[in-house]
Structure 1
C-alpha cells in the first residue's frame, strides 16, 4: 500500500469514528453565503476532557441533556469574530486543545458563523448585540443550575470581544474574566462604554492590541491593556498589499497566536507599563515598582496572578515586543553605555549574545541614540531568544550615514542587565568600536559600585 493510501485510510477511519460518536462541528460556510448574507444562528459546541476532539451541541434550554456538561467545573467560552469568507477560524482547534490540556473545564465554542459570515460588516456588527442576548440567557440558565459565574472566562476575538462585553454588561459584570484579543475597532471606536467592551463588563478584563491602526481598537478597554509591538505592524506580517489577504488580516489574527503560546507556557513575555511605545522603546519605562514584589505582569493566560494589584491600579497600559515567528517571546535586557569621545555621537547598536552553540541578536535601530562623554546612555535591547549562560558578547556601532566619514565610538563601559532574571549584570570596559565593525569580547560580572 502506498503512503498516500495509508493516509486516506486513516482519514476515512477518523471520519467514521466521528460519525459514530455523533460529533458536532463548527459551521463551515463559503463566500457565496457571505455574499447572499446570513441570518444569525447561535450554536454552542461543548468540549471537555472526556470529549476533547468531539464537539457536542448544547441545548439552550435543557442543560442536563449533556452528561459531560458539569457545572461544578469552570466554564470558558470562545467567541470568534467577523467571518467575511464563511470559513471556520484556522486557530480554533489549537485553542480548544491547549485550553483543555491546561485546565479541566467546560469549553464552549460559540459558533455564530451564521450572522458573522456576511460581506456587509455592518450587519455582522448589528448581530453582535443579538448574539450577546442569546448567550446571556444561556448563562443565566447556568446560574439557575448553581453555576458559579465568577468561574466563567470569556475569550473573545475581534467582534467576539465586544460580544463578551455585551454579555458581561447584561449580567452586571458578574462573570469572572473577559480576555479580549484585538477587539474590533470599526464601528466601535469613539462609542460610549455601553456600546462596546469596557472594564466594568467582568470582574477582570484583560485586552491585547495588535492592529490598532486598522481592524483593531486603539484605546485601552480593560483593567490591563497589552500592546504587542506598539499594537501595530506585527513583525513577520506582510508589509505590502501585494501579499494578498494576509496583508489585511495578519496583524489582527496575530493576537490569537500570541495568546496560544501563553496557555502551554511556550513563551513568557514580561510587559512594562508606559504612556507611549516610543518611551518604551527608548528604555524609559523599565521599572516594575508599581507592581510590588510581583514584578511586571506577563502577557496572556497567567496574568490573573496580578489581578488584585491591577484592580487596585484600575487601568494599566503595558507594552511588550515579540519575534515575527513562533516562539514569539523575546528576552529583554537593559543596556547602559558610557563613552569618552569628546564629541557627541549619534547612532545605532547591534548586540549579539553567544552561548553554547547558540546566539541571540538585538538590533536597537528604532531611532538614533545619543552618546555623550561620561554620560550613561540607556538602551532597551530585545533579543530573539534567551541565552542561559552568556559566554561572549559582540557589539557593532553604526550611524547609518553612507557618504559621511566613518566614526569611532570609544566605550568606557557597557553594562547588560537581564530584565527577566534576577542576576548580576554583565560588564566590559574600554572598548573601541569602529563603525560597522563587529567587536567580540568576554564579559565579566559588574563591580558592585556600577549597579
Structure 2
C-alpha cells in the first residue's frame, strides 16, 4: 500500500526486520511517524498511548491465525486463511449461527481458557467458534510492544470478520467477541475497524497502558452494539482496568481483588486477573445458579446494603447472558462470589 506524503514534509524509509512493507518516518510539526501494512492500512503514533515502542510488528511476522471450531469439529481446529475463500467454504462454518471469537492476552496462546470456553460453548449451543492466535505479537517481553501489536491483531481480526461476512453472508450483529486482558483491547480495535459487531465482552481488560487514556486507545462502548465488562483485578497495582468503559460494567467483590486469591506482597500472581475468565466460563453452563448483579454507584454503597433494589431495569446477570438485558439495564453492577468454584452464590 502506497503512503501519500505531503510535499512539505521530508520522508525517509526505515527498514524493520521481517517487514514486507515500507516504514515511513515523517518529519515536521504535527505529523507523527507512520507505518503501513498492506490491506491493514496505516498505524501512527499520534495518540499518547501509541507512542511507546512504536511501530507495531508487521502482520507477516506476527503470523496471526484463525482457528475454527464447530460441533462437527469440536476438538481439532481448521485454520481459516482470510485470503483463501476455499479455506472457509470447505469447513463446517454456518453463517446463520452465532459466531463467538475468543482472543487471548499478553503471553497467551490458543489453548487454556480458550479451549475451556470452546468446550463450554459447544456443549451449550451450536455456534461457530473462532480462536484468534496472535501469540507471536502478544508474547513480547516488552509489554508496550505487545500493546502496539494488539492494534495490528485487532485490524487483522476486523478484516477476518469482514471476510466471513463477504464470503458467507454471516451477520456482524450475530458476532460476539470475547477478549481477556490485552485481548479485550484487540477486540476493541477490531470493533472500531469493523462497525456493526453485535457484542464485545471485556474479561478484565488490561489496565496498564490503557486505563489512563481515552476511547481511541482502548475498548469502549462505540466498538460494538453492546459492550459488557467483568472487572476483577482493578486495584492500583493490578493487571486489570477498574474504570467503567462498557454499557454494563460488572464488579464482582468490588472488582479490585478476588476472595481466595492470596497476595504475596503486592500482586496475587494473576489470580484475580484470571478469575474473570472463570466467572465467564461458569456463567455459560451455570444453569443452577446465575451471577445476579445489583445496580449500584460504588462498592461502598453495595457493602453497606444500600443497593438491594433491582429497580425498573432489573438485575442483570454477569457473564455470558448479560446481553439478555442489553435493551434495558445500563451502568455499574455489583455482586458477591464464593472464594472457590462454584463461584456463583446461590
TM-score range normalised by the length of the shorter chain: 0.7 to 0.9
Deviation at residue 102 of structure 1 after TM alignment:
1.2
Structure 1 segment 28-427 matched on structure 2, within 5 A: 39-65=61-87, 66-83=90-107, 90-145=112-167, 146-172=169-195, 174-213=196-235, 214-241=238-265, 247-266=268-287, 267-291=289-313, 295-310=314-329, 315-331=330-346
Q: TM-score when scaled to structure 1?
A: 0.60
More strand by share: 1
Query: Partners of 1:88 and 1:104 in 2: how far apart?
Result: 20
Query: Partners of 2:97 and 2:257 in 1: how far apart?
Result: 39
Instruction: Deviation per CA, 1:370-418: give whole Å up to 9, x if none.
Output: xxxxxxxxxxxxxxxxxxxxxxxxxxxxxxxxxxxxxxxxxxxxxxxxx
Secondary structure at the counterpart of residue 307 of structure 2: coil
Query: Partners of 1:157 and 1:132 in 2: how far apart?
Result: 13
Query: Partners of 1:318 and 1:265 in 2: how far apart?
Result: 19
Query: Partners of 1:304 and 1:219 in 2: how far apart?
Result: 20
Contact (CA 8 Å) 1:63, 1:69: kept in 2 or not? no
CA RMSD of superposed structures (Å): 1.8
Question: Any unmatched runs of 5+ in structure 1?
Answer: 1-36, 332-451
For the pair shown, which has the larger CA radius of gyration, 1 or 2?
Answer: 1
Query: Partners of 1:182 and 1:63 in 2: how far apart?
Result: 34
Contact (CA 8 Å) 1:154, 1:178: kept in 2 or not? yes
Query: Partners of 1:275 and 1:70 in 2: how far apart?
Result: 42
Question: Any unmatched runs of 5+ in structure 2?
Answer: 1-56
Query: Partners of 2:110 and 2:185 in 1: how far apart?
Result: 19
Deviation at residue 88 of structure 1 after TM alignment:
5.4
Deviation at residue 92 of structure 1 after TM alignment:
2.4
Change (3 A) 1:237 1:89: farther
- Number of the residue aligned with 1:402: none
Contact (CA 8 Å) 2:104, 2:179: kept in 1 or not? yes
Q: TM-score when scaled to structure 2?
A: 0.78
Contact (CA 8 Å) 1:269, 1:298: kept in 2 or not? yes
Deviation at residue 87 of structure 1 after TM alignment:
5.9
- State the 4+ residue runs in structure 1 displaced beyond 3 angstroms: 86-89
